[in-house]
């Protein structure tokens, strides 16, 4: 069994807060991880479990271990009860571990009843430092979902295809998405074709016969369900015309590749859009690693009208980091010089060229490394106390 790196952060948060919300996409491993932390478990999607919770409430609030409440957005009545229970013994921490697969339904209740009473942790599917070095390309190809990604590559792409079908037909409508399953599945494919590009709601809407307001609302929902990442543009007073629309990425590369009909690594490498796939995958590995290690950060991209570009800009630890991502085993000096020039433009404190190289270069401000090397560099930084 692969140990999830988020474990340490959840335990730390439970020591310091009465409750922790563990959020993430369906099938990312939230329930498995939570049940390893505590055996006091209730699945609030199931009516019988809600009844059991009500009958046992007076007993479980005295539990010595966290009470796990899975898919809590399906039982909003629990939140005022949680608030009252927590406030009755406000100094008692580590009491509840609340799981959710869709942030709007859960966070509405959290903001209304539990503000200041809980911490939030996000569990993504498996990421690079949780798997062996030899599994890097299979992780990129098949994604990180435990049931049908890196742990069961033989189930790819059948599992992610069925996963998306079930989301479109059952879960997303139950969570509040108004689109029909047919429209949702078509929207999935349009987003796959748009992966790594500047978001153009009007163009997508025209292709689907929908208004740009409607496709934007659909995108909002998929982002809040942890399927899509919307990377915002970086704004800086650099006296250049900047791209002002976000970039769109599928958060799990296996879902992306299944939608685009990719079955094997050699087929992926032959695609004209393979660089965008790898860029999105690396960005997701980095942001997952930052979350796992408890670093507060903001993420952006930069593109100017005259050709300056950074794949990722991070505001972190009071610094600005400029990152360029190259699908290459031999990044050139020209790549490094271009990165330095663009980094200087935004007054970056550190600059990173991330590729598939085996020859890492660590300068004072500029580092050339591979994805695993950069993630390890992050984990070796002093973890913030917050």
**Overall size of the chain counted in residues:** 386
200, 337: one domain = no
Q: Is residue 277 predicted with pLDDT exceeding 60?
A: yes
Residues 150 and 261 in one domain: yes
What local confidence, expressed as pLDDT, does residue 337 receive? 93
- The CATH number for 232's domain is 1.10.10.10
Whether residues 30 and 136 fall in one domain: no
* Angle made by CA atoms 236, 237, 239, in degrees to the nearest 5: 120
Q: How many CB atoms lie within 10 A of CB 59?
A: 9
Give the residue from 65, 88, 122 where a domain finishes: 122
Whether 247 maps to a domain, the answer reads yes
Question: Same domain, yes or no, for 22 and 157?
Answer: no
Q: What is the pLDDT of residue 105?
A: 60
Q: Is 86 helix (H, G, I), strand (E, B) or coil?
A: helix
Residue 223 has which token pair?
């982002």
103 Cβ contact partners less than 8 Å away, ≥ 6 residues apart: 23, 224, 225, 226
Strands 309-316 and 297-303: antiparallel
Q: 32: which 2 tokens?
A: 């498995």
In this predicted structure, what is the pLDDT of residue 104?
60
CATH code of 106's domain: 3.40.50.300
Average pLDDT for 128-151: 94
pLDDT above 90: percentage of residues in the chain: 82
* pLDDT value at 275 more than 80: yes
Task: Determine, yes or no, domain membership for 43.
Answer: yes
Domain region containing 295: 284-380
**Tell me, what's the pLDDT at 236?**
78
- Average the pLDDT over 227-234 and give the result: 96
Neighbour tally for 4: CB within 10 Å: 22
**Which residues neighbour 248 within 8 Å (Cβ) at sequence distance 6 or greater?**
191, 194, 195, 196, 197, 199, 219, 228, 229, 230, 231
If asked whether residues 210 and 143 sit together in one domain, one would say: yes
Is 386 contained in some domain? no
Is residue 1 situated within a structural domain?
no
Chosen domain end from 122, 153, 174: 122
Cβ proximity of 315 and 245 under 8 Å: no
Of 229, 247, 276, the one marking the end of a domain is: 276
82 and 139, same domain (yes or no)? no
Backbone φ and ψ for 229, nearest 5 degrees, come out as: -110, 130
Long-range pairs, 49-56, Cβ under 8 A, ≥24: 50/75, 53/78
Residues 181 and 252 in one domain: yes
Task: State the pLDDT confidence band at 282, using cuts at 50, 70 and 90.
Answer: very high
Residue 231 lies inside a defined structural domain of this protein? yes
Q: Considering the entire predicted model, what is its pTM?
A: 0.94
Q: Which CATH number characterizes residue 353's domain?
A: 3.40.1350.10
The structural domain count of the chain equals 3
303 contact partners, CB below 8 Å, separation of at least 6: 198, 233, 242, 243, 309, 310
Q: Are 244 and 133 in a shared domain?
A: yes
Average pLDDT of span 232-239: 82
- Same structural domain, 118 and 23: yes
- Residue range 323-339: mean pLDDT, rounded: 95
Q: How many CB atoms lie within 10 A of CB 238?
A: 15
Quick one: which of 170, 8, 5, 55 has its CA closest to 101? Answer: 170
Query: Residues 218, 357: one domain?
Result: no
Check whether residue 220 and residue 84 sit in a common domain: no
pLDDT score of 30 more than 70? yes
The answer as to whether 341 is a domain residue is: yes
Q: What is the pLDDT of residue 1?
A: 66
- When pLDDT is averaged across residues 16-30 and rounded to a whole number, the result is 95
In a domain, 357, yes or no: yes
138 & 65 share domain = no
| Domain assignment present for 298 | yes
């Amino acid at each position: 069994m692969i140990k999830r790196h988020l474990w340490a952060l959840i335990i730390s948060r439970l020591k310091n807060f009465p409750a922790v919300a563990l959020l993430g996409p369906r099938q990312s491993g939230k329930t498995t991880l939570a049940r390893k932390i505590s055996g006091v478990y209730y699945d609030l999607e199931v009516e019988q479990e809600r009844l059991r919770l009500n009958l046992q409430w007076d007993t479980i609030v005295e539990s010595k271990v966290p009470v796990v409440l899975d898919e809590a957005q399906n039982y909003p009545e629990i939140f005022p009860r949680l608030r009252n229970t927590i406030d009755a013994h406000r100094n008692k921490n580590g009491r509840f571990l609340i799981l959710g697969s869709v942030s709007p339904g859960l966070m509405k209740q959290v903001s209304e009843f539990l503000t200041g009473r809980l911490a939030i942790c996000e569990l993504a599917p498996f990421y690079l430092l949780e798997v062996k070095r030899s599994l890097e390309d299979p992780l990129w190809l098949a994604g990180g979902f435990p049931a049908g990604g890196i742990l069961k590559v033989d189930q790819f792409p059948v599992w992610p295809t069925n996963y998306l079908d079930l989301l479109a037909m059952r879960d997303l409508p139950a969570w509040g998405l108004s689109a029909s399953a047919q429209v949702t599945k078509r929207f999935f494919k349009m987003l796959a074709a748009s992966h790594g590009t500047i978001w153009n709601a009007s163009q997508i809407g025209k292709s689907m016969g929908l208004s740009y307001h409607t496709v934007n609302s659909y995108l909002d929902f998929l982002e809040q369900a942890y399927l899509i990442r919307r990377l915002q543009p970086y704004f800086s007073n650099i006296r250049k015309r900047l791209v002002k629309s976000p970039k769109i990425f599928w958060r799990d590369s296996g879902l992306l590749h299944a939608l685009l009909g990719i079955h094997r690594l050699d087929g992926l490498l032959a695609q004209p859009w393979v660089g965008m796939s790898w860029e999105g995958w690396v960005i997701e590995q980095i942001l997952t690693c930052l979350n796992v290690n408890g670093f507060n950060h903001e993420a952006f991209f930069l593109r100017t009208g005259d050709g300056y570009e950074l794949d990722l800009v991070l505001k972190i630890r009071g610094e600005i980091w400029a990152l360029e991502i190259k699908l290459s085993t031999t990044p050139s000096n020209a790549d490094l010089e271009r990165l330095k020039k663009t980094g200087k433009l935004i007054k970056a404190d550190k600059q990173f060229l991330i590729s598939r190289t085996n020859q890492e270069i660590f300068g004072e401000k500029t580092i050339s490394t591979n994805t695993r090397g950069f993630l390890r560099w992050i984990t070796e930084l002093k973890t913030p106390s917050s």
